[in-house]
Structure 1
Amino acid sequence: MKNKVNRDIPDKFLTDYSVFETTTIDHQKIDYKAPTVKVVSQKDTKLVHSIKEVIEKVGLENGMTISFHHHFREGDYVFNQVMSVIKEMGFKDLTLAPSSLTNVMNDMVVECIKSGVITHITSSGMRGSLGEFISHGGLDNPVILRSHGGRARAVEQGEIKIDVAFLGVPNADEYGNANAIHGKAVFGSLGYAMVDAKYADNVVLITDTLVPYPCTPISIPQTQVDYVVEVDEIGNPEKIGAGATRFTKDPKELKIAQLTNDVITQSPYFKNGFSFQTGTGGAALAVSRYLKESMEKENIKASFALGGITKPTVDLLSEGFIEKVLDVQDFDKGAALGMAEHENQQEIDASFYADPFNKGAVVNQLDIVILSALEIDTKFNVNVMTGSDGVLRGAIGGHQDAANAKLTIITAPLVRGRIPTVVNDVTTVITPGDSIDILVTEVGIAINPKREDLKEIFANSKVPVFTIEELQQRAEKIVGVPENLEFTDRVVALVEYRDGTLIDIVKQIKE
């Protein structure tokens, strides 16, 4: 069956899934699944002295689902510590359900798949050696890929039933109160971990800094925590900003950032009280620099900034250009430290951020969002998950969730090296074209034909405007027509839209 973005979904998946039809979230009633709670008496202690002991205490069994968060990004030590013990203890057939997977986790995950410890995975993304392994058929069962909002929805509805959540926290007390703004390995917001703590049957906090009771401020409360384990080190905060959150000096990316700022400031949404979110990627992050200059010149302040937060966003808060920051994740150490300094840098969980099936996520209030792309096609569909070779090498993150803002801007170069970014059809549809309003490249912009209002605004602008077909043809002239990728019939990953419908599949690379 073909879905709304013309992707063919094999019949065997239609028993468990509906196919993607619309970005509109209708009114409906949703049942949330409460966790099983094991009562802690006044005589009980939660402090456990080793990871092996806590695994025994929670009663981990073959076939269960375990979760982790990825707030440490490439500085994470908790995941490998826990998984090495689980592997040594001989567990099999586990489902791995982290908020996302980073490169530092890859080798351990591959080892655990090969040894039968892990047989199912659901995640926001994967890349590096793990992405290569999965894309070449290394896991028997398809990976399920979800956005951050989609994962929160799936946890709350019980589609992901977490048996044990192993959550690294920079400081905690012995009774299970914790935050991530104090300690040796500060990373700021615990936004993704907070959902796991609320819904997992067993919650284990792993920390390298025990503090006297009560640990405040409280991000994860004692009422949700079963056990606390103290280890030597939980992570390296210097590596939080590695990879996708780089700050660019590339002239092409800076040109894209300048054009993006021009688009924002000439749009009807650039006015006092506007709200915005910037994604990862060099150009998207660089927009903050130019936006500050424009806000200062026009005497405009934003009501709030959202999402994964960087130091430039916190600087805008400090300098009075933004009233509030709603923080689900910190992308660098500067943003993480800001959580302890600014009362208006408010920690929020992933459900509050982007769950489409709650009583109102923050993404519903966004005016402007700036996101990046690996590919965008002539239907404005966006791919942030698979490379030009078809290999898994990215993450959905909050892309689908935030893309429903009043003005959704995609920033991308026309080509990367010898690879076109603007194509006829993306390799994998992650965010549907209905959500996208404007593409900004270094040569100019393309406006989604559905936005006649924006076409009128920019008709008399100095910003160069093209059709997206013209940009695609321009990219093709530079690098030629890429060869068609070859895949087998075997599906290695299922891509959910944020509402749980299937928007695309990823097939195994043909050798």
Structure 2
Amino acid sequence: MKNSIGREIPDEVLVGRAVYQGEFAKNEELETIGRRVKPVKPEDTKLLTTIEEAINKVGLKDGMTISFHHHFREGDYILNMVIDTISKLGIKGLTLASSSLGSVHAPIIEHIKNGVITKITTSGLRGKLAEEISRGLMQEPVVIRSHGGRARAIEAGDIKIDVAFLGAPSSDEYGNASGSRGKANCGSLGYAKVDAKYADKVVIITDCLVDFPNMPASIEQRDVDYVVKVDEIGNPSGIASGATRFTKNPKELLIAEYASKAIIESGYLKDGFSFQTGTGGSTLAVSRFLRNEMIKQNIKASFSLGGITKPMVEMHEEGLIKNIFDVQGFDLSAVDSISKNTMHHEIDASFYANPHNKGCIANNLDVVVLSALEIDTDFNVNVLTGSDGVLRGASGGHCDTAASAKLTMIVGPLIRGRIPTVVDSVNTVITPGDSIDLLVTELGMAINPKRTDLIEQFKNSSIPVYTIEELKNKAESIVGTPDKIHYEKEVVAIVEYRDGTVIDVVRKLK
């Protein structure tokens, strides 16, 4: 069956699922789930001595679903530690529902081979694990969900978490846990907060046990069953590893300059506006260009949102951004800020971007600046699979914020390596073209024809304006047309749009 953007979705993938029909096509009233809770008496202790004891206490059994968060990113020790212990206990057939998976989680490969993990749902996959899954490691396709889509799926019961194992930089013995005040601080625990609220059992794992009460808490005692103290939960330097990149590349700086000019000329840059920028070279640099213009025009932003970076923190401390809403700290400046700046707010993933609550904060965005591995002539965007077809990225909050913001801008080079960024049809659609308003490259920008208001607005722009077909042709005139990737019929990943419908699939590489 074809969905509304023309992607062919196999019938077997659609068991219990619907095909994507549009950004806000699925908009009926929905129910959220409850969970099983065992009361804790005043004399009961939650503090346990080992992860093995916690696994036995929560009653983990074959076929259950376990979850983790990815706030430690490439510095994470928790996930591998817990699954190693589960394997030793002989428990098998588990669904792994981590908020994202990175290169550090390569040891999971052996646990997939030995049957401990048989299903995965996540926002992203990287490294050797992603490569192996792309080549058919798993019998069941991985389900890829956006950050807002994952929160929606948990609240709706599409993901039913039996046990959440949540790393916390600090916790007291009763389970009040924080992303700060420890040895491996990660700042916001925005993705873990949803798991803590909806999982049947919640285990906090920390390497810094502090006196009660550990307040303010990211996760409160009422949501926690057990607390385990271990030697190390992660490497704090891994929090920033591969996440934020400050560029000196002239091409990327030119893209950022064009992007900031586009925001200025669009009319959306005005006092009280709101914005989110990404963490790549060009997207991160946009914040710095905007800062200068905001100072020049005496403009202050009402809030910035998303994964928080050093430029946002600096602008907040300068008084240029009133509020920061933080679902994830992307560098150590963001980690430090959340514990000292009172208007730097920790939010959960549902508040951030869930399309099926009574109003996520992404709905209030004026401008979002995002990156892309590929964008096609219909403005569909791929941030998940590389030019070789291998899984190497994440859905993240891409489609969530793109659908919600008043102005959604993609920034990127016309050519990456020797591969065109603008193509006829992207490998994998994460964000549909209906959500994208502008593409900005080092040559200039392309405006989505559906935004006739922007076409009129940019009639006298200082930025060169092309059609997206013209940009594609310019790229191909330099590097030619890439060879097609050859796939088998087998589906290795199902890509859900934020509303739970299927927007695309990823097939096994030949």
TM over 0.5: yes
Equivalents in 1 of 2:61, 2:160: separation in Å?
14
Equivalents in 2 of 1:35, 1:245: separation in Å?
37
Q: Is the 8 A contact 2:13 2:494 kept in 1?
A: no
Between stretches 26-35 and 330-339, larger displacement belongs to 26-35
Cα shift readout 1:434-491 (whole Å, capped 9, x = no counterpart): 0000000011000000111111111111100000000000111111011111100000
Aligned to 2:24, what secondary structure does the other structure show?
Answer: coil
Q: By how many angstroms is 1:244 displaced?
A: 3.2
Equivalents in 2 of 1:85, 1:378: separation in Å?
48
* Matches for 1:42-57 after TM superposition, within 5 Å: 42-57=42-57
- What code does the residue aligned with 2:127 have? G
Q: Tell me the equivalent position of 2:124.
A: 125
Identity of aligned residues (%): 61
Q: By how many angstroms is 1:171 displaced?
A: 0.6
Q: Tell me the equivalent position of 1:308.
A: 307
- What code does the residue aligned with 1:452 have? T
- What code does the residue aligned with 1:144 have? V
Q: By how many angstroms is 1:267 displaced?
A: 1.1
- What code does the residue aligned with 1:202 have? K
Q: Is the 8 A contact 1:25 1:356 kept in 2?
A: no
Equivalents in 2 of 1:13, 1:188: separation in Å?
37
Between stretches 77-86 and 466-475, larger displacement belongs to 77-86
Equivalents in 2 of 1:407, 1:235: separation in Å?
37
Q: Tell me the equivalent position of 1:100.
A: 100
Equivalents in 2 of 1:452, 1:53: separation in Å?
61
Q: Tell me the equivalent position of 1:79.
A: 79
Q: Tell me the equivalent position of 1:278.
A: 277
Equivalents in 2 of 1:101, 1:216: separation in Å?
29
Equivalents in 1 of 2:3, 2:455: separation in Å?
28
Runs of 4+ displaced beyond 6 Å: none
Q: By how many angstroms is 1:305 displaced?
A: 0.2
Q: 1:413 aligned to 2:418?
A: no
Q: Tell me the equivalent position of 1:10.
A: 10
Equivalents in 1 of 2:306, 2:118: separation in Å?
31
Q: Is the 8 A contact 2:124 2:395 kept in 1?
A: yes
The runs of 5 or more residues in structure 2 that have no matched partner are none
Aligned to 2:333, what secondary structure does the other structure show?
Answer: helix
Cα shift readout 1:40-68 (whole Å, capped 9, x = no counterpart): 11121000000111111111101000000
The runs of 5 or more residues in structure 1 that have no matched partner are none
* Matches for 1:207-218 after TM superposition, within 5 Å: 207-218=206-217
Q: Tell me the equivalent position of 1:485.
A: 485
Q: Tell me the equivalent position of 1:21.
A: 21
Q: By how many angstroms is 1:25 displaced?
A: 5.4
* Matches for 1:405-484 after TM superposition, within 5 Å: 405-484=405-484
Q: 1:298 aligned to 2:297?
A: yes
Equivalents in 1 of 2:27, 2:55: separation in Å?
41
* Matches for 1:180-259 after TM superposition, within 5 Å: 180-259=179-258
Aligned to 1:409, what secondary structure does the other structure show?
Answer: strand
Equivalents in 1 of 2:236, 2:13: separation in Å?
40
Over the aligned positions, Cα root-mean-square deviation in angstroms equals 0.8
Cα shift readout 1:242-281 (whole Å, capped 9, x = no counterpart): 1132221111111111110000111111100000001121
Equivalents in 2 of 1:169, 1:56: separation in Å?
21
Equivalents in 2 of 1:25, 1:152: separation in Å?
19
Cα shift readout 1:2-36 (whole Å, capped 9, x = no counterpart): 11111001112223111101102565221111111
Q: 1:30 aligned to 2:7?
A: no
Equivalents in 1 of 2:114, 2:243: separation in Å?
30
Q: Tell me the equivalent position of 2:384.
A: 385
Equivalents in 2 of 1:384, 1:280: separation in Å?
13
Q: Tell me the equivalent position of 2:401.
A: 402
- What code does the residue aligned with 2:359 have? G
Equivalents in 1 of 2:449, 2:381: separation in Å?
16
Q: 1:159 aligned to 2:158?
A: yes
Cα shift readout 1:211-236 (whole Å, capped 9, x = no counterpart): 11111002101000000000111111
TM-score w.r.t. structure 1 length?
0.99
Q: 1:343 aligned to 2:342?
A: yes
Q: Is the 8 A contact 1:446 1:467 kept in 2?
A: yes
Equivalents in 2 of 1:244, 1:341: separation in Å?
23
Cα shift readout 1:357-386 (whole Å, capped 9, x = no counterpart): 001000000000000000000000000000
Q: By how many angstroms is 1:418 displaced?
A: 0.7
- What code does the residue aligned with 1:182 have? R
- What code does the residue aligned with 1:410 have? I
Q: By how many angstroms is 1:336 displaced?
A: 0.6
Q: Tell me the equivalent position of 1:375.
A: 374
Equivalents in 1 of 2:373, 2:280: separation in Å?
10
Equivalents in 2 of 1:96, 1:290: separation in Å?
41
Cα shift readout 1:128-183 (whole Å, capped 9, x = no counterpart): 11111011001000000000000000000111000100000011110111111211
Equivalents in 2 of 1:154, 1:461: separation in Å?
42
Equivalents in 1 of 2:184, 2:134: separation in Å?
33
